[in-house]
Chain A
Amino acid sequence: MTSKQAAANTPSPISIAAKGYAVDSESTPFKLFNFERRMPAADDVVIRIHYCGICHSDIHQVYNEWHSSKYPMVPGHEITGVVEQVGSSVKGFRVGDHAGVGCMVDSCRKCATCKKDIEQVCGDLCLTYNSTELDKVTPTYGGYSNLITVKEHFVCKIPKNLPLDAAAPLLCAGITTYSPLRRYKVDKHTQLGIVGLGGLGHIGVKLGAAMGAHVTVISTSESKRDDAMKLGAKVFIVSKDDEQMKTVANSLDLIIDTVSAPHDVGPLLNLLKFEGVYCVVGAPTKPLEVGAFTLLMKRPTITGSGIGGMKETQEMLDFCGKHNITCDIEKIDATPETIKAAYDRTVKADVKYRFVLDILNAFK
C-alpha cells in the first residue's frame, strides 16, 4: 500500500485535542483538563487562544453563586487569539487574523431577536461556557483553554492596532458598557455617571469619555479619584459623602451602575435629571429598592443591560480600534494557583482593572 492509500484509509479526525483549566465542583481547585474541540464545520473558525480575561462572572459561576453551574466547568469569555483554521464557507476570516470571542458561541439565527442582531436574547442562546451547544447536550467550554472552535458569526475581528492581551476584556466588559452608552445616545451633550471603578467601570469611563460625554465617577473610595481622572472622568464623588453627592444632584442624563455588591440605589437616582436613565450592568444578588415617589416624580427610566449582539460587539471593537482604547490589565501566567489568587483579589476589587491570563504560554 502506498502512503497515499494508507492516508486515504485512515479515518479523518473528528475532533481536535485541547487543554484547559477546569473545576470539577464549586469547592475544588482548577486542574488541567484534556478535552476536545470540534473539527471546523464549513462555517467554523478555529482560534489559537492567546489571552483570556478573568471576568467577575467566571468567579460567580465557578463558585455556583447563581445556582446554575454544571461541572466540569472551563470558564472564560473574554477570549483573543489568532485564527488557525477556517471552514470552507467562512468569508470573514483568514488564517492569521486577530480574532476575539465573547460570551456567546451560538444561537438559532432565525428568531425575531436573532434577526434584529440581539442574539443574547435568543431562547436558544449558547453561552461560551457553562452552557450547551444548540443540540442542548454538548457542553460548552470557555477560554481558559488553548484552542476553540466557534461559528464564524460569533467571532469578531480585533483591530490590528489593539494588542491582543489588553483587548481581551473588551469582549465582555467592553461590550457590556458600550451597549447602553449607544442605546441612550451618549455624546458631547451627555452628563454621564459611572458607578464603580472596576473592570466594567474603568472601560465605561474610557468609552463614555471617547464619545465626548462629561463623565462623573461615583465610588465608595476616595483612593480611586486620581485614577478616575486619568481614565477620562471630569468629576469624582464618594457615594457615602452626602455633601459631595449633593453637588451632583439632579444633574446626570445617564448612570451606568457597574457595582455588584449590595448598595443603595435611592441616592444614585437622586443624581439623575428629570426623566434620566439609570442602567444596571453589575449583577447584585439582592433586589434594588426603588421608592414609588421617585418613580412618580422624577419619572426615570430604570433598566439594565447585558453584553450586546454580535453586530454591536464588532462595532464596539472597531470604535476601540479607532480611538485606541483597550483595558487596563494585569497580565498573569495561567496556572491553577495564579487563577485562584486572581479570583481572591478580584473579589476584593484589588486589581487595575482586569486580570488577563496568558494562555499562549500555558499548558507547557
Chain B
Amino acid sequence: MSPAQNNTIPAKAYAVFADDSPFKVFDFERRTPRVDDVVIRIHYCGICHSDIHHVYNEWKKETYPLVPGHEITGVVEQVGSSVKHFSVGDHVGVGCVVDTCLKCEPCKKHKEQHCPDVCYTYGSTELDKVTPTHGGYSNLVTVKEHFVCKIPNNLPLDAAAPLLCAGITTYSPLRQYNVGKDSRIGVVGLGGLGHMGVKLGAAMGAHVTVISTSESKRNDAIKLGAKAFLVSKDKEQMKTAANSLDLIIDTVSAPHDVNALIDLLKFEGVYCLVGAPPKPLEIGAFPLIMKRPIITGSNIGGMKETQEMLDFCGKHNIVCDIEKIQATPETIKTAYDRTVKSDVKYRFVLDMLNAFK
C-alpha cells in the first residue's frame, strides 16, 4: 500500500463510536514520519482496564471515535532523518504517552506523564490540541522517538506488551521507595497490575506479601514469587501481618477498606495507590497521627524510567502472564467482560499483526 497524499499513511484500527456501541473497523491515517518520528508496525497490544473505563465513558470525558490501547509492541518500519536510537527492524514499545512539551519542570525531571500538555496515546490530542490521538488496537502508529522504548531482544513481544503500562505502573513506586532485599512489601490485588508488582518486587529481592479478597489466588501468588498471602477480609490473618510492611502497592480499583491496609504498615511505612477506585478513599485520622505513614499514589512513569524498567525485565527475564487472543470486535468484547470479572491470568493481549485480514 503506497503512502497516501497529504503526509499521511493509511491505517486500520478497531474503534468505538459511542459509549454503548460495539467495536468496528476504522480506516484512518497516521502521520508520515517527521524528522524525529518512528513508524511502528504494531504486533501486539495489551488490554488494560483503563481501556474499558474509557470505552464505556466511565470517566465521563470521552470523545469518539475512540481507538484504545496503550500497551503496544511492534517492529520499527520507518525512521525520520534525525532519529538516533532506532533502526528499521528494532523491537519497540509505546505506552500511555506519545508527546509532551519537553520543556517544563516535570518533563525535565523525566516525569513527562505530569506535563500539563501531556498527549496520551489515545482519547487525547496531539500538542496542537486538535489532532486526536488513536491507540494500539491498530496496525500502525507514528510516535516521536522520545516516547518509544526498546524492547530487549530476549523478551517476546506479546508477553512484553503489558509492561508498557502495567509494568511501569508497578515498577515506578518500587523504585521510588527503594525496594530491595531488606524490604517487606505488600501487593494488594492479583490482576494485571498486581501480578507484575509481585514479579518485579520479588526480582528486586523483596519479601512480597499478596493481599487478596480470594483464597483461591494463594497458589498463584506463591508461584509468581510471593512469600506470604493474606485474605483481606480475614481479620485474624490480617492481624498476623500488622505493623510489618515497609510499602504497600494497592492495585485494586473496586471499593475497599484502606484503613485495614494501613494497619499492616510499619511506622512511617508507605501506602501507594496505583488502581483507580471511583469512590474516594476513606482514611482515618488516628492511624495517620499515630503511624505517620506516607499515603500517596503513582501513575505510570516517565520515559527514562520506562526504558529502565524494560531493561530490568530483560535482565531478569520478566514478562507478563498473558492470554493472547485474536483481534476482532467479538473477541475484544469478550475479553472486556472477562477482565471486569477478573477472569484472566493476567492480561489479554491482542494479536494485531494478524488482524484486519
- Interface of A with B (CB < 8 Å)? 113, 118, 121, 266, 274, 280-285, 287-306
28 contacts between A and B (CB under 8 A): A274-B106, A280-B288, A283-B286, A287-B282, A287-B283, A287-B285, A289-B281, A290-B283, A291-B280, A292-B253, A292-B275, A292-B276, A292-B281, A296-B273, A296-B274, A296-B297, A297-B297, A298-B297, A299-B296, A299-B298, A302-B296, A303-B288, A303-B295, A304-B290, A304-B292, A306-B289, A306-B290, A306-B292
Q: What distance in Å separates the Cβ of B134 from its nearest Cβ neighbour in chain A?
A: 23
Given A113-B267, A121-B290, A292-B276, 7 other A-B residues pairs in contact with their CB atoms under 8 A: A284-B285, A287-B282, A288-B284, A296-B273, A296-B274, A297-B297, A301-B294
Closest residue on chain B to residue A283 by CB atoms: B285
Which residues on the B side are within 8 Å of A288 (C-beta)?
Answer: 282-285, 288
- Residues from chain B with a CB closer than 8 A to the CB of A287 are 259, 282-285
A305 close to B289 (CB less than 8 A): yes
Give bound CA distance, A298 to B286, whole Å: 23
Contact of A296 among B284, B289, B292, B299 (CB under 8 A): B299
Alpha-carbon gap, A170 to B157, bound state (A): 62
Contacts of B277 in A (CB 8 A): 292
Query: Which of chain B's residues have a CB closer than 8 A to the CB of A295?
Result: 273, 281, 295-297
Chain B residues within CB distance 8 Å of chain A: 106, 114, 253, 259, 267, 273-278, 280-299
User: Smallest Cβ distance from A243 to chain B, in angstroms?
Assistant: 22
Contact among A280, A291, A298 with B285 in the assembled complex (CB-CB below 8 Å)? A280
Determine the main DSSP class of A at the interface with B. Answer: mixed
Q: A121 contacts which chain B residues (CB < 8 A)?
A: 267, 290
Q: How far is the CB of A260 from the nearest CB of chain B, in Å?
A: 8
Bound Cα distance from A297 to B106, whole angstroms:
12
Q: How far is the CB of B111 from chain A (nearest CB, A)?
A: 8
| Chain B: minimal CB distance from A229 (Å) | 29
Quote the shortest CB–CB distance from B275 to chain A (angstroms). Answer: 7
Contact present for B106 and A303 (CB under 8 Å) = no
A64 to nearest B CB, angstroms?
Answer: 16
Q: B274 to chain A: which residues have CB within 8 Å?
A: 296
Report the separation of the CA atoms of residues A288 and B277 in the bound assembly, to the nearest whole angstrom: 16
Instruction: Please name all residues of chain B whose beta carbon is closer than 8 Å to the beta carbon of A289 when the two chains form the complex.
Output: 280-283
Nearest chain A CB to B124 CB, angstrom units: 14
Known contacts A287-B259, A292-B297, A304-B285; A274 and B114 CB within 8 A of each other: yes
In the bound complex, residues from chain A placing their C-beta under 8 Å from that of B298 are: 296, 299
Most buried by B among A121, A281, A282: A121
CB distance from B267 to the nearest CB of A (A): 5
Complex-state Cα separation, A304 to B285, whole angstroms: 7
- With A287-B259, A292-B276 as known contacts, state yes or no: A303 contacts B297, CB within 8 Å: no
CB closest residue in chain B, given A116? B267
With both chains docked as a complex, state the minimum distance between the C-beta of B276 and any C-beta of chain A, in angstroms.
Answer: 5
Contact status A290-B288, CB under 8 Å: no
- Cβ–Cβ contact B282 & A303, under 8 A: no
Residues of A within 8 A of B285 (CB): 280, 282-285, 287-288, 304
In the assembled complex, the Cα of A302 lies from the Cα of B288 at a distance in Å of 8
Q: Which 6 residue pairs across A and B have the least CB separation, nearest first?
A: A304-B288, A295-B297, A287-B282, A302-B295, A304-B289, A306-B289
Residues of A within 8 A of B291 (CB): 304
B189 to A: closest C-beta gap in Å: 14
Q: List residues of chain B with CB within 8 A of the CB of A302.
A: 283, 288, 294-296
Cβ of A239 to closest chain B Cβ, rounded Å = 17
B289 touches A280 (CB 8 A): yes
Least distance between A242 CB and chain B CB atoms (Å): 19
- Residues of A with C-beta under 8 A to B275: 292
> How far, in angstroms, from A301 to B289 measured CA to CA in the complex?
14
- Residues in A with CB closer than 8 Å to B290 are 121, 304, 306
**Using Cβ atoms and an 8 Å threshold, which residues of chain A touch B287?**
304
Within the assembled complex, what's the spacing in Å between the Cα atoms of A93 and B134?
73
Closest to A307 in B: B289
A281 touches B289 (CB 8 A): yes
Kindly list chain A residues whose C-beta atoms are within 8 Å of the C-beta of B295: 290, 295, 301-303
Distance (whole angstroms) from the CB of B259 to the closest CB of chain A: 7
Rounded to whole angstroms, the CA-CA distance of A284 and B253 in the bound complex is: 26
Q: Which residues of A contact B281 (CB under 8 A)?
A: 289-292, 295
